[in-house]
Chain A
Amino acid sequence: MSHAATPTLSQDQLRLPRSAVWRSLPWAAAAVGLLALVVHWLLGRGAGAARQAHFSYLVAMLYWLSIALGALFFVIVQFATKAGWSVVVRRLAEHAMITLPLLGLLFVPIVGGMHELFHWSHPEAMQHDALLASKAPYLNVPFFSARALLYFVTWTALAWLFYRRSVRQDLDGAPQATERLQRLSGPAIILFALTVTFAAFDWLMSLDPHWYSTMFGVYYFAGCVVAIFAFLALVGLLLRRARVLADVITVEHYHDLGKLLFGFTVFWTYIAFSQFMLIWYGNLPEETIWYARRLIGSWGQVTLVLALGHFVVPFFYLMTRATKRRGATLLPAALWLLTVHYLDLYWLVMPILHPEGARPCLLDLTAFLGVGGCFVALFGRQLRRHALVPMRDPRLAESLAFENY
């Protein structure tokens, strides 16, 4: 409810300063990423390592994808709700979501390596298993591949539409861009919800093809939203250390990011617990097997760590107002949640490959750095190319002057 005048942001508030270490980020990240991918590929050619390489790669892909998808969701929702507070952080999310086409390219090895990952993709499996055979109209290689293409085409189209209009508005300041994106945001949410749901079914749920859960799409989505708020808080605070956007993204915005991070951590917990409790209570073997796999051997400990780390610790830590309003306390929380989000995805995927217990290995690291390096490289490149905030967004003034409760 501010009555701020036209914002006066100086040039060095709008662009990365020359001396900033962030300027060299794209090159460094690209180098790390490509090197890691090469090492990953080489190690994966080793004896018996192919399956591990593919599984590690799947986890890494889904991790970085969750940040990009979370960013897409965030941007769409800000337009749908005509939000004012978030304008100063929106550009960071926009850079994260525009990595979706690149991630689509990086996804090709998954589709190509389907036979290493998905039990149902083996024709012999289909022949001997009546239950799997009944799913054949959906779980077959051509349809699966076509769907993957469809998801990435949709996400790219949405990300591109929102991105292009936003950066063009920097130049022409046309309010019509905001109006158009507001109108687009409704249908965009519907497309987002459906594609993300079925992507989660395809790439995560079908790893265990006998198992099913109507909640599963929502579960992956919840993880995406936690990831993006943690990412935005982390990136914003790291930029601030380099004196970038220091007076633009204020303590009020971090408070909001912290609140949303807290809220969606609780939401993730609610979804995760509901799914678990209902399956536990019904006690049907065809459903409980999925959780049983995650309680055998060291997986039981991983499950406990996940529950404590993804819920209990962040819940009590992020509860107080003061914690969310100080960078020194919010940054560790963001980093923590990004870490435990990786653990969540690892826990979703790996029990299929390693039923006896968690077996972290080098390939996990190379995959993570490989995909992540490419993600960060593109993010960093876009950060350099465009203004750091949507400098002529009609609601920028409101966002700069925003004060929290």
Chain B
Amino acid sequence: MSQQPTTTELSLNLDEPVDQRPPLLLGDNSFRGITEAVCRPVEWVPPRGWYIFFGVSLALLGVLVLSTAYLFYMGTGIWGLNNPVGWGWAIVNFVFWVGIGHAGTLISAILFLFRQRWRTSINRFAEAMTIFAVMCALLFPTIHVGRVWVIYWALPYPNQMGIWPNFRSPLLWDVFAVSIYGSVSLLFWYMGLLPDLATLRDRAKSQLRRVIYGIFALGWRGSHRHWQHYERAYLILAAISTPLVLSVHSIVSFDFAVSQLPGWHTTIFPPYFVAGAIFSGFAMVVTLMTIARTVFGLEHIVTRRHFENMAKVMLLTGSIVGYAYAMEFFIAWYSGNPFERFVFLNRAFGPYAWAYWIMVTCNVIVPQTFWFKRLRRSLLWLFIASILVNIGMWFERFVITVTSLHRDFLPSSWDYYSPTFWDICALVGSFGLFFTMFSLFVRFLPQVAMAEVKAIVPAAHVHHATLHPAAPHAGPGAPAAPGAAPAGSLATPASLPQEA
């Protein structure tokens, strides 16, 4: 039973008076209210819908496990790869999932650095999504190697063969980049969880819960001396994660761009891929959040304003993706290189034109609807559009990978690529992994960063105007120096450091 925000509150939240900042939370925004609203889904018996969702996810996960077992047994020949298309669905799925993961880090880190307080309602959710998406992403390079039992050969360690990995290969850069991205995201997510795990520990009714949450909370006790180091660490992790997230999808784009293949070898790939990743990631957050906030009664914490902001980010990144398409197209013509020119004509009018136009519709046209305020604020359209965007972004990776390979320099080598049943199982199954992890997350962990949300509500602010009433200065047995300036105090706006 969520507290339904009133019409006035809704309009307050969406109002845009230029001299005020609209409230970020509606309804009961007391500290206790936030704790109750966010902890309830972790402490209750979940509704039947959760069990159904979890069941379906497990079934899909089963599909993944079985199809992967068959893959290991039979080898990668069961997939649709051929000559010249040696890279097919596996790498498309890999790039797709890595891209989805980027929204979490953007929301956690980059929006934090830009002081966008509205991020606190969605960052925990999005970061969890990042970690699960990275898991799904790493799945594909792992299973596609053929002899997965010797995959450790990819790592640099002294061995009896006397060989070392090829550090010039972007595929190895991927191993480092994506696994480090997963690790750092996990660290960031876990660090953010510490205060909330303490909340769950303190509220736990059963001894088992108290012990488990207690262990993972590491004994957190809200000490401000701890908060000081914690806040610094949070800021530093945010500052580190920002270049990290830019680098990860850039390195993934290098898989293609370092080659000499027209349609792959183009310098704009790194920022283009990063923008596309953020684009698809936000779409996935929107898809999941529209459902989760209703099921779990969090509409007053994740409000329409949050969705509107996410829509604007999608509009921005979708436009960047559109810009990159235009640049590629123009420069392909400008280069005068007949192979470059052919690749782009082939994409639009060749055998894969159907995929190309799905991509353009979903990635360029759909986000442009977010210019219209009514569409930005319609949860139904947001839900539909976000799914279309993710379909479009999957197709973008497909178009890039397959169209450049299937018709490159030598016409006698041209061929058509189709996925097999097992390719499809792997993709569908990966969603099973993702949604299974997700179901467990919403069941056992708080979906919203309670401590962060509490810090931004009006009640959290210290009102300096009411400070310094007439109070006794001296403590017992202590000749105090009243009003002594403490060491290391920050300069307030009213007292600037003396400038040279």
**A residues in contact (CB < 8 Å) with B:** 1, 3, 81-82, 84-85, 131-132, 134-135, 138, 175, 178-179, 182, 186, 190, 193-194, 197, 201, 212-218, 237, 240-241, 246-247, 250-252, 259, 263, 266, 270-271, 274-275, 277-279, 281-284, 286, 325-328, 394-395, 400-403, 405
Q: Which of B444-500 contact A (CB under 8 A)?
A: 456, 461, 463, 491-493, 496-497, 499-500
Instruction: Return the contact of A1 from the options B18, B117, B319 (Cβ within 8 A).
Output: B117
Q: How far is the CB of A1 from chain B (nearest CB, A)?
A: 6
Contacts of B235 in A (CB 8 A): 405
Q: Does B270 interact with chain A (Cβ within 8 Å)?
A: yes
- Chain A nearest CB from B89 CB (Å) reads 25
Given contacts A3-B461, A179-B18, A403-B492, contact A284 B246 (CB under 8 A): no
Q: How far is the CB of B425 from chain A (nearest CB, A)?
A: 35
User: Which residue from chain A places its CB closest to the CB of B264 in the assembled complex?
Assistant: A282
Interface flag for B189 (CB, 8 Å): no
Contacting pair A278 B500 (CB below 8 A): no
Cβ of B167 within 8 Å of any chain A Cβ, yes or no, is: no
Residue in A263, A270, A327 whose CB lies within 8 Å of B500? A327
> Does B254 sit within 8 A of A, measured CB to CB?
yes
In the complex, B257 has a CB within 8 A of chain A: yes
Closest 4 CB pairs of A and B: A394-B19, A214-B268, A215-B267, A134-B336
15 further A-B contacts with Cβ under 8 Å, apart from A218-B268, A259-B113, are A1-B117, A182-B18, A197-B323, A214-B327, A215-B268, A216-B267, A218-B271, A237-B499, A251-B496, A251-B497, A266-B243, A270-B247, A270-B271, A271-B271, A274-B269
Which residues 29-86 in B have Cβ within 8 Å of A in the complex? Answer: none
With A1-B461, A178-B18, A218-B271 given, is the CB distance from A212 to B492 under 8 Å? no
Tell whether, in the assembled complex, residue B493 and residue A217 are in contact, meaning their CB atoms are under 8 Å apart.
no
List chain A residues, Cβ under 8 A from B270.
215, 270, 274
Set of chain A residues within 8 Å of B334, measured between Cβ atoms: 135, 138, 201, 212
CB distance from A266 to the nearest CB of B (A): 6
Which chain B residues border A282 with CB–CB below 8 Å? Answer: 258-260, 265
Option from A186, A190, A214 in Cβ contact (under 8 Å) with B267: A214
Whether the Cβ atoms of B269 and A278 lie closer than 8 Å is yes
Nearest-CB residue, chain A, relative to B315: A186
Chain B residue with minimal CB distance to A247? B496
- Check if B267 sits within 8 Å of A213, measured CB to CB: yes
Which residues of the other chain, B, contact A278 by a CB distance below 8 angstroms?
254, 257-258, 265-267, 269
A-B contact pairs, 26 of them (CB 8 A): A1-B117, A135-B336, A179-B18, A182-B18, A213-B267, A214-B328, A214-B331, A217-B327, A218-B271, A241-B499, A246-B496, A250-B493, A271-B271, A274-B269, A274-B270, A275-B267, A277-B258, A278-B266, A282-B259, A327-B499, A327-B500, A328-B499, A394-B19, A395-B19, A403-B493, A405-B231
B242 to chain A: closest CB distance in Å? 8
What are the residues of chain B within 8 A of A279 when measuring CB–CB? 267
- B244-264 CB mask vs A (1 if < 8 Å, else 0) is 001100100010011110000
Contacts of B17 in A (CB 8 A): 175
- Cβ 8 A contact of B265, one of A3, A134, A186, A284: A284
Report the separation of the CA atoms of residues A274 and B258 in the bound assembly, to the nearest whole angstrom. Answer: 10
In the complex formed, the residue of A with least CB distance to B491 is: A251
Q: Bound state CA distance, A250 and B493, in angstroms? A: 6
Residue of A nearest to B335 (CB): A212
State whether A402 touches B267 (Cβ < 8 A): no
Residue of A nearest to B370 (CB): A186
CB atoms of B267 and A270 under 8 A apart: no
What A residues does B414 contact at CB under 8 A? none
Q: Are B493 and A400 in contact (CB under 8 A)?
A: yes
**Which chain B residue has the least Cβ–Cβ distance from A329?**
B500
Give Cα A249–Cα B115 distance, bound, in whole angstroms: 19
Q: Please measure, in the bound complex, the distance between the C-alpha atom of A394 and the C-alpha atom of B324, giving whole angstroms.
A: 36
Chain A residues with CB under 8 Å of B257's CB are: 278
B331 touches A213 (CB 8 A): yes
Nearest chain-A residue to B463 (Cβ)? Answer: A3
**A198: min CB distance to chain B, Å:** 9
C-alpha gap A213/B257 in the complex (Å): 12
Against A, the Cβ 8 Å flags (1 = close, 0 = not) of B14-31 are: 001111010000000000
Q: Does B371 contact A (CB under 8 A)?
A: yes
Q: Is the CB of B493 within 8 A of A252?
A: yes
User: What's the minimum C-beta distance from A226 to chain B, rounded to whole angstroms?
Assistant: 16
Select from chain B the residue with minimum beta-carbon distance to A275.
B267
Q: Are A175 and B250 in contact (CB under 8 A)?
A: no
Interface positions of B from 207 to 260, Cβ below 8 Å from A: 231, 235, 242-243, 246-247, 250, 254, 257-260
Q: Which of B247-297 contact A (CB under 8 A)?
A: 247, 250, 254, 257-260, 265-271
- B387-399 vs A, CB cutoff 8 Å, 1 = contact: the mask equals 0000000000000
